[in-house]
Amino acid sequence: MKLATLDNGMPDGALVVVSADGSHYLPATAVAGTLQAAIESWATAEPALRALADRLAAGEGDGTDSASFAAPLPRAWQWLDGSAFRSHGELMETLFGTEPPPPGRPLMYQGLSHEFLSATADVPLPREEDGIDFEGEFGIITDFVPMGVTPDEAMAHIKLLVQINDWSLRAIAPIEMKTGFGWVQAKPACSFAPFAVTPDVLGDAWREGRVHLPLSVDWNGKRFGDALGGVMEFGFHELVAHAASTRSLCAGTIIGSGTVSNSNFREIGSSCIAERRGIEMLDEGKPSTQFMRFGDTVRMESRLPDGSVLFGAIDQKVVKG
Amino acid sequence: MKLATLDNGMPDGALVVVSADGSHYLPATAVAGTLQAAIESWATAEPALRALADRLAAGEGDGTDSASFAAPLPRAWQWLDGSAFRSHGELMETLFGTEPPPPGRPLMYQGLSHEFLSATADVPLPREEDGIDFEGEFGIITDFVPMGVTPDEAMAHIKLLVQINDWSLRAIAPIEMKTGFGWVQAKPACSFAPFAVTPDVLGDAWREGRVHLPLSVDWNGKRFGDALGGVMEFGFHELVAHAASTRSLCAGTIIGSGTVSNSNFREIGSSCIAERRGIEMLDEGKPSTQFMRFGDTVRMESRLPDGSVLFGAIDQKVVKG
């Protein structure tokens, strides 16, 4: 089942169910006004939403217009981003001279969640010299998770999967990182692909708490990466358990994978510019690829093995904010 | 003007205006259902709320019961905590062997904001061995702040002042800090004193974006500190501008001062146990004060120079969660 949020001018938009191919939708506000409301009462909302999905499969529904979608959750009470791809982490450690994390402990920070950008919204940022970069990620949305949940127990709390562009400002990131306090200025609002999907939509591509699919990234219309999501050092269920060690997680908590990255990045490409620059530093002694300029575009999409639409595409332009 | 939130069983509670001495209140839901709603429409809400405050001053209102108050914002879309007292920062740098921050740049992290504890709620935490510590802070609540605001412009966006206990788990904090990602597990939900007050209530004690009042902290009924809030290296207006450098801030953003701390901490005491342990490390070679045990209590209160009630008191017990 695919869910999405229509931008109706309200902060949380209006919930809709979308057909498997993303071409049609039915309003779901009779079930739950918003995706946040649905995830807060998932046990009762899910079957009613699936009934709408069945009607879409039978041919009902209105045609979708990708520009009318907000982020699945246009804002959330909690956004926690991991960094679960070791090949990315190792490169960043090389680039910034930082130490590897303690073994067995996922990396995670809490980020801006009062506003998420839609898949097609322009991205307003103040300065090119901040080092504007995209970060292609997969993510999950949980229902309420009690404090102290185990990774095995956490798996059942993963209700929806999403695809994210975690915008990053690379000139600021290492300065903030060095303080140990994590990122505030270096992490403006993320963007989301339009469709949040239940794990069953992925079939075998969802296993061990990981999305076993490539994330295709195009920068200014040119392929930049096709890294695979399945090689996360920690599965999403382990990220949920890490986050819930000393807090309960509210329904609608979003957890990100961190930049999708594979150790054969020289062949398969990258999901962020910083990684390519890290490779250039390793191979050529200094980075040659520059960060984004105002007017640059980035497109990110992950499709099912048969080529069919999954989360829909992120396709955005960076503009002077 | 003092505002508070009655716990009515709903996530955001119900807004009330409280008398200057905190003894009486009038419902404010006819103006705005919640404090979040009020701060989102502050220009129109404030005069209507002040009219209720005038009626309270004239003797109207029901008697308050401190146990019925939630945190002023029982949850918020954004909680950013600074660390603006250099004497605290320097001690922590000594304790953890970390470097001082770059000159002119405030320290700040984004923390858990989907749930804030009331002033009298028990504090459920999983393990004593996590190093349970309180952190007494002042804080502010903003209306909408556009990206790129200057410190001078930011001053007018500070609509309310609050008093906070930023619960911290000291055995986890340095591990997370070393990753550069900031704190997730080390920072469970904060607690708030019951009353959010407009800056004018403080008179001369609110100047240069700082709260020039002592914060009295009692641990298990014994005075632990009376540190003054006025010596922040950066005023709250500068913290707002720092936060808004690359993002706009939603109405209802809460920004904290970090642990209130003075350089004469040996005489005036501290607002967290970690600071006292840092002093013991400096003076005696090792810390002798242990962190909190289940059943321990902490009380925090800041009063006006004439002794009158300001934010009300935080008075809590730590329990096994």
Residues B121-169 have pLDDT tens digits of 999 999 999 999 999 999 999 999 999 999 999 999 999 999 999 999 9
Successive 10-residue mean pLDDT values, chain A, 321 residues: 97 98 96 98 98 97 90 98 93 79 94 98 97 98 98 98 98 93 97 98 98 98 98 98 98 98 96 95 94 98 97 98 90
Q: Which CATH superfamily is domain B79-320 in?
A: Fumarylacetoacetase-like, C-terminal domain (3.90.850.10)
Q: Is the pLDDT reported for residue B67 higher than 90? A: no
Window 138-157 of A: residues touching B by CB (8 A cutoff) are 147-148
Mean pLDDT of B289-295: 98
CA of A109: which chain B residue's CA is closest? B181
Instruction: Average the pLDDT over B93-97 and give the result.
Output: 77
pLDDT attached to residue B257: 98
Residue A296 to residue A293: CA distance in whole angstroms: 6
> Smallest Cβ distance to B110: which of A99, A110, A243?
A110
Angle between helices A86-96 and A273-284 (to 10 degrees): 60
Q: Which chain A positions have a beta carbon within 8 Å of B10's beta carbon?
A: none
Pairing of β A62-63 and β B206-207:
unpaired
> What DSSP designation does A200 have?
G
How far lies B110's CA from each of B143, B241, B243, in Å?
A: 18, 15, 10
Distances (CA, A) of A227 to A129, A266, B121, B286: 27, 11, 47, 49
**Among B300, B263, B273, which Cα is nearest to B88's?**
B263
| Amino acid symbol at B309 | V
Q: Decide: residue A99, CB within 10 A, 0-12 exposed, 13-18 middle, 19+ buried.
A: exposed
3-class DSSP assignment, residue A69:
strand
Interchain proximity A83–B175, CB inside 8 Å: no
Say whether A184 and B108 touch across the interface (CB within 8 A): yes
Which residue shows structure tokens 């979003």? A254
Residue ranges of chain A that CATH labels 3.90.850.10: 79-320
CB pairs under 8 A between A and B: 131
User: Which distant-in-sequence residues (6+ apart) come within 8 Å of B264 by Cβ?
Assistant: none
Are B184 and A111 within 8 A, CB to CB?
A: no
What does the pLDDT read at residue A216?
A: 98
Rounded CA-CA distance B199/B17 in Å is 15
Q: What is the dihedral of CA B302, B290, B97, A94, to 10 degrees?
A: -100
* Residue B100 confidence (pLDDT): 87
- Distance (Å, rounded) from C-alpha B275 to C-alpha B259? 9
| Closest to B291 (Cα-Cα) out of B176, B179, B125, B178 | B125
Amino acid in the structure at residue B126: P
Q: Is B3 left (phi over 0), alpha (psi -120 to 50) or beta?
A: beta
User: Angle at CA B185, nearest 5°, toward B180 and B189?
Assistant: 120
Q: How far is A236 from chain B (nearest CA, A)?
A: 16
Instruction: Give me the pLDDT at residue B2, please.
Output: 98
Q: What is the pLDDT of residue A308?
A: 96
Rounded Cα–Cα distance for residues B236 and B242 (Å): 10
The SS3 of residue A250 is coil
Could you list the beta-strand ranges (E) of chain A: 2-6, 14-18, 24-27, 62-63, 79-82, 108-110, 123-125, 132-133, 136-142, 158-165, 168-169, 191-192, 196-197, 206-207, 210-211, 214-219, 222-228, 254-256, 297-301, 314-320
The answer to whether the complex's ipTM is over 0.95 is yes
Calpha distance B54→B39 (Å, rounded):
19
| Whether A243 and B179 lie within 8 Å, measured CB to CB | no
Q: Which residues contact B192 (CB under 8 A, 6 or more apart)?
A: B71, B72, B73, B116, B117, B118, B119, B162, B163, B164, B165, B314
Contact A182 B105 (CB under 8 A): no
Residues 190-229 of B with CB under 8 A from A: none
- DSSP class of residue A136 equals E
First to last CA, chain B: 36
- In a mutational test of the B interface, the residue from A246, A250, A253, A319 whose CB has the highest number of chain B CBs within 10 Å is A246
d(Cα A111, Cα A89) in Å, to the nearest integer?
18
CA distance B176 to chain A (A): 8
Token readout for B53 is: 């405050």
* Selected residues 94-123 of chain A with any CB under 8 Å from a CB in chain B: 96, 98-99, 101-102, 105, 107-115
Nearest to A115 among B83, B130, B250 (CB): B250
Residues of chain A with Cβ-Cβ distance to B175 below 8 Å are 102, 105
In this complex, do A99 and B75 lie within 8 Å of one another by their Cβ atoms? no
| Whole-number Å distance between alpha carbons of B232 and B209 | 9
Facing residue for B182 by CB, picked from A75, A109, A124: A109
Nearest-by-CA chain A residue for B114: A77
Q: Does A125 touch chain B (CB under 8 A)?
A: yes
Q: Which residue of B has its CA nearest to A189?
A: B247
Which pLDDT band, with edges at 50, 70 and 90, does B75 fall under?
A: very high
Q: Write down the mean pLDDT value for chain B.
A: 96
| Contacting residues for B43 by C-beta, under 8 A, at least 6 apart | none
Instruction: For A226-260, give one letter per residue: b (16+ CB within 10 A) or e.
Output: bbbbbbbbbbbbbbbbbbbbbbbbbbbbbbbbbbb
pLDDT tens digits for range B17-30 = 999 999 999 999 99
- Residue of chain A whose Cα is closest to the Cα of B244: A185
Question: What's at B16, amino acid-wise?
Answer: V
